[in-house]
Structure 1
Amino acid sequence: MQLYKSFLRQLIRNYMIGSLIAVLLVGGALMTTTLNVSYIESFRLLSILGGSFVVMLAVELFVFFKHIGIIRSALLQEDAALDQLEAAYLRTHRMPSLAVYRIYGPHLLGMSIPALIATVWMIHAGLLSIPLSYIWIAVLGAVMVASCHAMIEFFLTVAAIRPIVRELRRLALIRYGVDFSLEGHVFTSIRTKFLLSAMLIGTCPLFLFSLAVRVHMGQFYEEISRGYWGWAGIILMLGVGFAYIGALLMTQDVNRPLRQLYKAMDTVKEGRFIQTSNLYSDEFSSLIAGFNMMVRGLQLREERNRKLLESYFAALAAALDARDPYTAGHSLRVAEYSVIIGQLAGLNAHSIDILHKTALLHDIGKIGLRDSILLKEGRLTEEEFFQVKTHPAQGENILKQIEPPDAMAPFLEGVRSHHERYDGHGYPDGLQGKDIPLFGRIIAVADAYDAMTSDRPYRRGMSRAEALDILEQGRGSQWDPDFAGMFVQHMRRNLETA
């Protein structure tokens, strides 16, 4: 695949350029400009450097192709399984970190160990006239150069993997209908990347300069160089401290708005569309402004959906009530009374909203009743009443047909159980006491009160006072004693003040 070949070429090109700059240019320049050796010794040192570079290249390429093998198989196999694609997707995201591992492992060790062995051997053989102490200085220099190389390689690899990540997601979506996502997983945090990079940028040149000066002074100014590390150590500590403080402050400056956005996103996930304060004057100001604009859009859409849903429930209730002119508005009134009971019981706003919608739909199962039963002016026969008693279960079944299923789930229990009696003699399930769902117990009180106070073809509705007396008498037998009691007290207070 052309994409994989391009990716491979880019990684190898980035690595080769970084290695050549780090090993041959930086390392060679430091050696040839700081060491006062003959041409033949310079040639021997460069030969050691070149030979070690070949060893390092062989070892590191072996590890590199081992790391990239999973990605190669997933991209080049037309029948790659889903788990192969997922493994390649995760490995691709780890490639920047693996690049750092290769540079500190096979790269640094593959270069340093052969170079140390060859240099020590040449010094003992008299082929090099440099002090053995310089070897440790060279090791420190190699670590610093490798650190800078690792930083550059990390960010170059981050840019190189993006097309591969897109392609692996595309293949998984086309072949298996799965869209890969890290779901917020962080392989390397921004704080770590920013802090280490800023530290390296601030301290690496200072360390390399100190090492080079020590080597240079050691050959020409032996007396002066004896106290060099005491003086240089203070300068290095100050430089490292300054670089660390500067890097920490810059990292905090970047992390602060990011943490603010993370917190705001968690709030939005919880369903609370709250905008976050914009306290910044850099690019983060535009980012937070865009986030707040998105939240405002979500707020408008949520409000629109809420109104549509409320209209939908009200329309269903109105359609049901329209079948029977004698009970017009029954569902709306039951919903109103149910909300009053819910508020008296101390339910939260979310629960009251669900209660309101449930009460609007509590009689939706009556849609399935024949007009001859629903509109009958006389008393119902036993068979007809049996048909009426099916409407709670019918209502539940109707709501279960609405997609998605979880949208109607909160309303099912209340619709099914609003004709259960507290003493267990209700229908359809004969539930008793607290086994009856909460909304069913509340709606039962509201439904009974509205039914008693509404006119019917075969009788006039009773007065509110009479209906409240019946509710009082039925506490603990037909209705929940707590909900019936608080509703009766509330309505009687209203009658007294009317």
Structure 2
Amino acid sequence: MSPFSLFQKRILLNYIIGSMIAVFGVGSVFIFHTLSLSSSEMLYLLFIMIVSGMIMLASEFLMYSKHIKPVKSIYQSNSPTMEELEHAFLTAHRFPLLTVKRILGPHLFGLSLPASILSVILIASGILNLPYYYIGLAWGGAILIAVMHALIEFFLTYRSAQDIIQDISKKALRLNSSPLTIEGKYHLSIQRKLLVSALFTSVFPVLLFILAAQIRLTESNTTTLSSYWNWASLIVLVIFGLSLCGSILLYKSIEEPIQSLQTRFENVYMGDLKQMENTYSDEFAYLVSGFNHMVSGIQDRDERNEQLLESFFTVFAATLDARDAYTAGHSKRVAEYSIKIANEAGLPNEEVDLLRKSALLHDIGKIGVRDNVLLKDGKLTDEEFELIKQHPVMGANILEQVDLPEELQPLLPGVKYHHERFDGKGYPEGLSGYDIPKFGRLMAVADAFDAMTSDRPYRKGMPFEKALSIIEDGKGSQWDPYYAELFLRIMRREETEAVSSYSQVP
């Protein structure tokens, strides 16, 4: 069901609920339980109510058709203009207030006026045995019931309009890439809603009871005390139920936006920086707007921090590579190979990003190795190799001293354990198998392949095929067989694609 059809269905349901409570519920109780009527007079009054009710319904339908037209037009059109969307958006915000007008006008002039005319005719012709001033009292009761009905409909429509407002806003966003706003165009303050609702909810029961008591006492001069209290109890019960309904609707209209804001603040605390749809036209609209500005500011700050963090990783990697011309770009290539393996393994994007950062910094500990050892042309002595083997621990210590935030702590295992071997013969701790953290096992493959295929002062880098053959032989001993196999699959696939592309060149 489309949002517009669902909205109309809810409006109809709201009207039925409001009418049953206010008009047929309260009105019928007051007519048939307050007046002393014969069976024929009850039938005539029922006839008057049916005729007047039909006139009221026809009047309300005409007003509803006029009010809903701007909203209806954008759902009937395949390509509504921005002006039409703005008009529909404003109308949807105003619809609760338009509903009040739609209820009050037809109730007073479509129901009460025809009912008064028909009653006067029937009283004048002697069919109804009622004093004429009862018509004036009936007008007073009709006004009270109409206002209560309008109040109930206002709050029910206010809740129903939220979804259609969101949908119109999404349509405008797709068309214009900027959200619609109600600020400066329409504002219905909470102060007015509370004042009118509280005033009428407190005064309505008293006035309605006074009105009913006046008629009842006039009708039944001989009423016994027990019968009076039986009647009064019923009237008070009906009035109490109606007032309670109005109070609950008023409370809900305030509670829901507060709960929505509270939920969104909790989401922000958990890291979900999603803005709210601003579907309100009262003071809550300013609160939601302020919330969205806050979220936008947090997003901008996070983007700047992310850029600074990226610069931090890039500068560190470049600084390290700059120390040794023969290993320039090594950290970046290891990061690229690691990302390929991670994507092939189906790791989530957040984990892939952490892996990339860890790979960029995996050799940061070499900053602590002396140049005469790190840049030595010939073969390293055992003592010098022991110094080199300390660089993973040095790197982890450096990053721990930086005091990385909690979300970046997963970088450390990749830096510290990328030289561990699957068979337990690696360093710095001699871990084996799946005791080696995931980043360490994965990056070990990428680091070894780039080390084998890169030129060094004392040797030339070996061909890709030979390096891949060594990784094939080392699956399960030096490297994690799963990540090694994924890397071999990636490289062979890329080689096949390259050969295929080359063969297609004329």
Distance in 1 separating the partners of 2:375 and 2:243: 86
* Alignment-derived partner of residue 235 in structure 1: 235
Partner of residue 255, structure 1: 255
> Alignment partner of 1:497: what SS?
helix
The Cα shift of 1:204 comes to 8.7
* Structure 1 residue 495 corresponds to structure 2 residue 492: no
- 1:374 is matched with which residue? 374
The CA distance in 2 between the partners of 1:388 and 1:274, in whole Å, is: 47
Question: Is the CA contact (8 Å cut-off) linking 1:330 and 1:450 kept in structure 2?
Answer: yes
Matched, 1:268 2:268: yes
Cα distance 1:432–1:200, how it changes in 2: closer, same or farther (>3 A)? farther
CA distance in 1, matches of 2:204, 2:257: 31
Secondary structure of the equivalent of 1:430? coil
Q: 1:199 to 1:285 in 2, by over 3 A?
A: closer
Q: How much does 1:231 deviate? A: 2.1
1:139-178 matches, within 5 Å, as: none
Aligned to 1:314: 314
Whole-angstrom CA distance in 1 between matches of 2:208 and 2:241: 17
Residue of structure 1 equivalent to 2:338: 338
CA–CA distance in 1 between the matches of 2:419 and 2:470?
16
Supply the distance in 2 between the matched residues of 1:404 and 1:439 (Cα, whole angstroms).
Answer: 17
Shift of 1:224: 3.8
CA distance in 2, matches of 1:333, 1:483: 17
Residue 342 of structure 1: SS of its match in structure 2? helix
Is 1:202 the counterpart of 2:205 in the alignment?
Answer: no
Corresponding residue number in structure 2 for 1:435: 435
Structure 1 position 254, deviation (Å) = 1.6
Cα separation, 1, equivalents of 2:254 and 2:405 = 43
- Indicate how the Cα distance of structure 1 residues 201 and 431 shifts in structure 2: closer, same or farther if over 3 A, else same: farther
Contact 1:199 1:240 in 2 (8 A): no
1:389-426 per-position Cα deviation (integer Å, ceiling 9, x unaligned): 00111111111111356465221111111100000000
Post-superposition offset of 1:264? 2.0
AA of the residue aligned to 2:384: E
Asked whether the 8 Å contact 1:413–1:439 carries over to 2, the reply is yes
What is the CA distance between 1:239 and its match in structure 2? 1.5
After superposition, residues 87-486 of structure 1 pair within 5 angstroms as 202=201, 206=205, 223-224=222-223, 226=225, 227-403=227-403, 406=406, 408-486=408-486
Which amino acid counterpart does residue 491 of structure 2 have in structure 1? M
Q: Which has the higher contact order (CA 8 A, sep 6+)?
A: 2
Deviation sequence 1:417-451 (CA, Å, 0-9, x none)? 11000000000110000000000001101100111
Q: Distance in 1 between matches of 2:487 and 2:371?
A: 33
Q: TM-score, normalised by structure 1?
A: 0.56
Q: Would the aligned equivalents of 1:321 and 1:329 in 2 still touch at CA under 8 Å?
A: yes
User: 2: distance between equivalents of 1:465 and 1:250?
Assistant: 75
For the residues of structure 2 that align with 1:419 and 1:268, how far apart are their CA atoms? 39
Q: Measured at CA, do residues 209 and 272 of structure 1 come closer, stay the same or move farther in structure 2, by a change above 3 Å?
A: closer
In 2, Cα distance between the equivalents of 1:482 and 1:307? 33
- d(CA) in 2 for partners of 1:311 and 1:318? 10
Letter of the 1:298 counterpart: I
CA distance, structure 2, for counterparts of residue 426 and residue 380 of structure 1: 17
List gaps (5 residues or longer) in structure 1.
1-193
Q: Give the alignment's TM-score, normalised by structure 2.
A: 0.55
Q: CA–CA distance in 2 between the matches of 1:250 and 1:337?
A: 61
Give unpaired runs (5+ residues) of structure 2.
Answer: 1-192, 499-506
- CA deviations on 1:196-239 (whole Å, 9 max, x unpaired) are xx88983598479979x99xx99xx9954612222222221222
Q: Report the Cα distance in structure 1 between the residues aligned to 2:409 and 2:489, rounded to whole angstroms.
A: 32
Aligned partners of 2:365 and 2:393 also within 8 Å: yes
Partner Cα separation in structure 2 for residue 319 and residue 491 of structure 1: 29
Q: Note the aligned Cα RMSD (angstroms).
A: 2.8
- What amino acid is the match of 1:372? N
* Pairs aligned (count): 299
Q: Distance in 2 between matches of 1:350 and 1:322?
A: 29
CA–CA distance in 2 between the matches of 1:199 and 1:470?
A: 83
Q: Equivalents in 1 of 2:251, 2:208: separation in Å? A: 26
Which one-letter code corresponds to 1:338 in the other structure?
Answer: S
Aligned equivalents of 1:255, 1:426: Cα separation in 2: 61
Distance 2:379 2:373 in 1: 10
Cα distance in 2 between the residues matched to 1:209 and 1:492 = 87
CA–CA separation in structure 1 for the residues paired with 2:373 and 2:365: 13
Structure 1 segment 52-63 matched on structure 2, within 5 A: none
